Amino acid sequence: MIHLPDTLWPPTITSLPVRGREQHFPVRRVYCVGRNYVDHIREMKEASERDPPFFFQKPSDAIVRHGSKLPYPQNTSDFQYEVELVLAVGREGADVQPSDALGFVFGYAVGIDLTRRDLQKACREHGLPWEAGKSFDHSAPCSEIVASEQLGHPDGGELSLDVNGMRRQHGNFNQMIWKVPEIVSKLSSQYRLHPGDLIFTGTPAGVGAVQRGDGLHAAIAGIGELSVFIC
């Protein structure tokens, strides 16, 4: 007979701190937008520059917080970073119109979409889902959330990512092909949104590989910072 470990009870809920509040944001689902910056599409040598947005998911327990030490993942020799604006959903709804979409955004955060690029490319070449390259343990570092009631709904802000103090990515989320209202609307046409959902919105150019011992520091002006260490 298999005895389940006592650590399963009570169930663990993944959550993120909210700036200025004692409450934490309980993470329900993690959605990610693919190919949402033209310069990243070009560096990855992918075809169309304005295909309809598509979405993939990461498990909620892939979320890791600022300051975490992350193990280099299994089964890859090309482990890459992607800095991203993250949306935190605060209302339930489906088929949301773009004009109403910002009313569903509870807040904003800084995220890093960690990717086993070699596995992602192999999946793409064989027409397979991206889970092997995207949806693994510790693959979604995320900063604290800044509530929109405090921040507003910015339509742009500089993004950057440094590796060991060297700038590797730099852009502005006003360069996104699909803007925040369009992302929320398109996603809600495929899935019913719920409070607790996170949406990683895509990355600009400059992605690259990291190794054990590397420190990553991501930032979005006006929103926050996020640091993790690969061990």
Picking from 68, 74, 229, the residue whose alpha carbon sits closest to that of residue 144 is: 68
Count: domains in the chain:
1
Q: Is the peptide bond before 11 cis (omega within 30 degrees of 0)?
A: no
Quote the domain boundaries for residue 150. Answer: 17-230
CATH number at residue 182: 3.90.850.10
Picking from 136, 175, 170, 169, the residue whose alpha carbon sits closest to that of residue 155 is: 175
Residue 95 belongs to a domain: yes
Cross-strand pairs, 205: none
- pTM (global) more than 0.85: yes
The pLDDT score that the predictor gives to residue 30 is 98
Q: Which helix (H) or strand (E) holds 89?
A: strand 83-89
Residue 6 belongs to a domain: no
User: Could you report the per-residue pLDDT of 200-212, keeping only the tens digit for each?
Assistant: 999 998 999 999 9
Residue 108 belongs to a domain: yes
Residue 70 belongs to a domain: yes
User: In the predicted model, is pLDDT for residue 40 greater than 70?
Assistant: no
Question: Residue 199 — φ and ψ, nearest 5°?
Answer: -130, 110
Provide the pLDDT confidence category of residue 4 given band limits of 50, 70 and 90: confident
Residue 43 belongs to a domain: yes
Averaged pLDDT score across all residues of the chain: 93
Residue 10 belongs to a domain: no
